[in-house]
Chains A and B, each alone.
Chain A
Amino acid sequence: MDNLSLFISIPAAVAFFIPIASHRFKWFPDVSASVTTFILLLLSLMTLNHETVYRMGNWPASYGIVFVLDGFSCMMLIIVNLICFLAALFSVDYIEKFYTSKLRYYSLLLLVVTGMNGTILTGDIFNLFIFLEVALIASYTLVGFGCSSRNLEASFKYLAINLLASYFILLAIALLYGKFASLNMAVLSQLMKVNPVDNIMVFAFVLLFVGFGIKAAMVPFHGWVADAYTSAPAPVSAILAGGIIKALGIYVLMRFVYNIFGMNYLISTIFIYAGAMSIVVGVLMALGQWNFKRLLAYHSISQMGYIVLAFGIGTPLAILGGIFHILNHSLFKPLLFLNAGSVEYETGKRNLNNMGSLSKKMPVTAVSSLIASFSISGIPPFSGFWSKFLIIVAAIQADKPVFALWAVIGSILTLASFSKIQRYVFFGKGKYFKDEVISEVKEVPYLMRVSMIVLAIFCSFAGFLLLGGLNGIFGPAVNALAGGTDLYITRILGR
């Protein structure tokens, strides 16, 4: 798989083709979106262990746009396309029931995929900004897709905060371009090594840091998360939590920090403290929530905190833990959002107090959400345990046992809030529960079940990836980051 531009051209083309074709064929949006995302998933699996640099139009790296495929971007591609495929499958029945315009929905969904794939692959800083905006503009619309006043308010909040972030990023790009006269990330990195650090570089770095920090929902930049996740359709929330927040936030941030600017003590300390804050603020806010999806949204902040903490510690073991946690969070959090979507699909309720006793009526949803809850709370042997364990070990090894304890406390609070979900939704009864709510309830349609079952299987067995995947998946990903700036420069510029 050398032609990396396919990851961008295929979804973009289909996205624009859907509105044209679906006037003739009613089935076209459903089928085309699922098939496209499935093809993308297969393509991304083909990129495994196939590190390469693709030059658009064969221009040399410093002039033209390059697409870089290394271990880290390969893993992110697989994650993003897997989640988008499963979300597209889930959407077939879900969107039918709650929303009207399928063709717009799927076009926008594929544009989000385009943007995310582009952001992951590109090696050009301005190109990065373009893809970022493609994904974000499509997602603004998707968040407000229900068009109720609440949805629009959430969408506006999301829009305003993320536009601010985008301005920061654009300003930083302008500053860097003004100083170094290049937009290629590897070239920038090389020039920064040669030139002494000055205030423009520092300012540009802080702007980038804050800009991507906002998109990664780091505390104190997490204001947009709860509303956006809550009001988006469930599969879109899944993509937001499993894809956008990582591809556009954490992934790019880590690229900049590790591969372009280079890690140092101050950045590491800031990451550690910001991560620790995120863990606890997110989980404490989640404990007080009664809205199913809002509770999950706050947990995204908390789990991103673990990832930021791990990358802050910065040893290879910690990076492995962080990358593995990115993967795991992309498995269990979308699954939980899909569970919330299924519960809403059947009962029409989002408030935990209005639900109850669904474990017998919806066995697939109940068991998969149980698995996801165990996984996110770090109960062995489910997937979340392994990454959290690695992070804890890394924290102790790096002589920061307090943060290991902190992570454990966060994990217990996570367990507490997911036990709450299990209690009110599946095993016990909510305060305002009425029997007629569940009298008609049955298990959700097959396609929705398939998405949940696939994710649940991954959640149960992802731990085994550590045994066999160390060389295949995680090893290259860790190397890509731990190699620092030198490896990245060599990979792209060849010297």
Chain B
Amino acid sequence: MNIIYYLIGLPIAAGLACLIIPERARVLIWGIAFDVCFILFSAFLFFFSRPPDPANGMFVWDALANLTLLGAGFFSLIVCVYSYKMIVESAGRYYGYLLITLGATIGAVASNNLILMSVFWGILAITLYLMINLGGSDAAYPAKKTFIMVGGSDSFLILGIAIIWVLTGSLNITEIRIQIDSWLAASAFLCFVCASFAKAGGMPLHTWIPEISEKAPVSVMACLPASLDKLLGIYLLARVCLNLFSYHESLWFLLRLLGSITIVAAVFLALIQHNMKKLLAYHAVSQVGYMIVGIASGTPVGIAGGLFHMLNHAIYKCCLFLGAGNVEKQAGSTELDNLGGLGRVLPVTFTCFLFASLAISGIPPFNGFFSKWMIYQGLVESGKSTDQSWILWIVMAMVGSGLTLASFMKIIHATFLGHVSSNLKKRIFEPHWTALFSVIVLAALCLVFGIFYYRIPLKLMIAPISQGINIQNVSGMFLPLAFIVCGIILGIILYFVLKPRSIRIAPVFVGGETPAEGMKVSGTDFYNPIRSARFFKTMYRASENKSTDIYDVFKSIASYFTEGLRVIHTGILGTYLTWILFGLMIFLYLFVKW
């Protein structure tokens, strides 16, 4: 039997075993999960240079699959290590679903047959739903919303597959290459895009991610929406744009537009959040925009940048969520108002969180900078062949990047710097070493992938995917780096030149009263002026009463029709008999007339 069957079967079987083993044997369950994740990660590393033989056309194992699977194996392993002390309740279900997710991910990424892929895709939606439900009865509503959005978009995926089957007569990814020349083909493309957006969190199908962020266990957030789902969603988008369909100007324009809107709108929403996890969740949405824009730029550099960003994002966002998990576990809250001054008691978490924040904001030499740079380059490149709209995309992406930095200033200040809040527990210390270990590894990777951006990720992982691109192009980064270094030096000089000569610290004077605890500056209100600015006020209000949430929009449309139908379903026998007679008359008319 082919090795791929084992790779898919092993985690799924182990996951089912974890579901059956009694919950008391927590360490045993963890051991199984860890071993399986470790074996799979090693296997992916091993297969990296020599991919296994695809079995009789059912599977395909190319460079894109290589990249996605290596990422999936790595993040499952990291989250598994992290969860050792963090997940105590319902451990069997947690690790069981985690392993099944991993198995289904392998299946979805490696399958060549579209129907087989949709089967694994469906299993992924189910495990996502069940994992969110681990958050207890409060998580039931977000889980439901997620399942409706992700599962519903899977229905569109199936519709897309059906259209492709009718159009080409084939279901094999390697055999399909569709020219978008009819509206049927275009709608198939849109169906696939819809599925990938819902999975990755592209606007307008992103609303489930912020919704679940507060209720679901934080390691679930780190594992699924932050890393595995991103990998999968962008994997699907890349497959669709690179393999299944050939370039079509206006549809790719639509993707770029949606991507840039995602970047900016989500980051504006992130700015005003009061909860650490929700803020991170909005950034998880915002960053997807970069990947979409990169892939949709249609240029080799941009596509490579998009895929590189997918990997980078998974690294730092996983790190950020796990860091937030440490804070939640040790300090007991993720509300920014309740936090403060944790940098002194959680130094390791703070450092790692800072690294990841700098990476997500695109500060060199962290990895986020390089992928964003490549995406910008890709956009410039695409401007050579198309209209001038690329300037707009670049501006939006850069604005998004700046605002990302701004909102991470807020989160870092409110959580780790400033005064210690009185709402916190008195004794706070670093979590178990397994939790720290995963965060440190991820933070270190942010740095390594940044400094050795060419040697490790680009050359080994990304270059094989987009064959024929001259990756040397990318290394024209000296100038921007020099500019940034100059900027930093200039800033330091300015700081020393303009620094107030002496700082006087005076006690707060409040009319002779002792200042109350609530008077500290927590940093949550940093960006309130934006909120009350004229244009943004309407935007924020619309997003807060959910009139921009696609889920709620469709829900209210459906309930409008439901109410209408309920009015005519009176439950009175006479009414129903009247309908029958009307039906009879209409059918009689139709048939006699015919």
Contact = CB atoms under 8 A, between A and B. Distances in A.
A485 to B, nearest CB: 18
Q: Which of A288, A377, A379 has the most CB of B within 10 A?
A: A379
Given A160-B573, A221-B579, A427-B137, A270 B587 contact: yes
A419 B144 contact: yes
B442 to A, nearest CB: 31
B565 A164 contact: no
B240 to A, nearest CB: 18
B558 A287 contact: yes
A256 to B, nearest CB: 14
A431 to B, nearest CB: 12
Contact of A221 (B558, B565, B583): B583
A72 to B, nearest CB: 24
A385 interface: yes
29 contacts: A164-B577, A168-B584, A203-B588, A209-B587, A210-B587, A220-B583, A221-B579, A223-B569, A223-B573, A223-B579, A224-B576, A266-B594, A281-B565, A284-B562, A285-B562, A377-B151, A382-B122, A389-B161, A392-B159, A393-B162, A404-B163, A408-B156, A412-B152, A415-B151, A416-B558, A420-B144, A427-B133, A427-B137, A428-B138
A213 B583 contact: yes
A393 B168 CA distance: 13
A374 B118 CA distance: 14
A100 interface: no
Interface string B532-555: 000000000000000000000001
Interface string A194-205: 000001001101
B584 A210 contact: yes
Contacts of A164: 577, 580
B125 to A, nearest CB: 7
Contact of B154 (A199, A227, A379, A393): A379
A304 B162 CA distance: 22
Contacts of B147: 415, 419
A412 B154 CA distance: 9
Interface pairs A-B: 3 shortest CB-CB: A428-B140, A223-B576, A380-B122
A429 interface: yes
A445 interface: no
B264 interface: no
B249 interface: no
Nearest to B183: A401
A423 B139 CA distance: 9
A288 B566 contact: yes
Contact of A160 (B115, B561, B577): B577
B144 A423 contact: yes
A220 B577 contact: no
A161 B580 contact: yes
Given A270-B587, A284-B558, A396 B163 contact: yes
Contacts of A356: 137
A408 B571 contact: no
Contacts, number: 162
B140 A380 contact: no
Interface of B: 115, 118-119, 121-123, 125-126, 133, 137-141, 143-144, 147-148, 151-152, 154-156, 158-159, 161-163, 165-166, 184, 187, 555, 558-559, 561-563, 565-566, 569, 571, 573, 575-577, 579-580, 582-584, 587-588, 590-592, 594
A415 B148 contact: yes
Contacts of A405: 159
A264 to B, nearest CB: 9
B119 A423 contact: no
Given A285-B566, A356-B137, A423-B143, A210 B148 contact: no
Given A206-B584, A206-B591, A288-B559, A220 B579 contact: yes
Contacts of A270: 587, 590
A424 B584 CA distance: 40
B583 A210 contact: yes
Contacts of B133: 427
A209 B125 CA distance: 41
A357 interface: yes
Contact of B575 (A223, A388, A396, A422): A223
A116 B594 CA distance: 34
Contacts of A234: none
A413 interface: yes
A415 B144 CA distance: 9
Contact of B143 (A287, A357, A381, A427): A427
A55 B576 CA distance: 40
Nearest to A397: B166
B158 A380 contact: yes
A359 to B, nearest CB: 8
A149 B573 CA distance: 15
B576 to A, nearest CB: 3
Contact of B151 (A213, A285, A379, A420): A379
B591 A202 contact: yes
Contacts of A420: 144
A74 B147 CA distance: 38
A341 interface: no
A411 interface: yes
Contacts of A419: 144, 147-148
Given A270-B590, A379-B126, A423 B140 contact: yes
Contacts of A429: 137, 140
Contact of A408 (B118, B123, B159): B159
Contacts of A281: 565
B580 A221 contact: yes
A404 B584 CA distance: 27
Given A207-B584, A381-B123, 5 more contacts: A206-B584, A357-B137, A385-B122, A385-B158, A427-B139
A378 interface: yes
A209 B562 CA distance: 28
A157 interface: yes
Nearest to B123: A381
B106 to A, nearest CB: 15
Contact of A379 (B122, B143, B582): B122
A415 B152 contact: yes
A408 B579 CA distance: 27
A206 B140 contact: no
Contacts of A160: 573, 577
B326 to A, nearest CB: 27
A228 to B, nearest CB: 12
A422 B143 CA distance: 10
A215 B414 CA distance: 65
Contacts of A424: 140
Nearest to A410: B155
A455 interface: no
B588 A206 contact: yes
Given A374-B126, A392-B162, A393-B166, A285 B569 contact: yes
A214 interface: yes
Given A206-B591, A223-B575, A396-B166, A285 B565 contact: yes
A207 B580 CA distance: 11
Interface in A159-186: 160-161, 164, 168
Nearest to B592: A202
B188 to A, nearest CB: 10
A389 B571 CA distance: 34
A29 to B, nearest CB: 33
B22 to A, nearest CB: 13
A119 to B, nearest CB: 21
Contact of A380 (B121, B162, B166, B571): B121
A266 B577 contact: no
B163 A401 contact: yes
B151 A266 contact: no
B113 to A, nearest CB: 12
Contact of A220 (B155, B563, B566, B580): B580
Contacts of A226: 569, 571
A423 B142 CA distance: 10
B583 A161 contact: no
Contacts of A357: 137
A393 B587 CA distance: 29
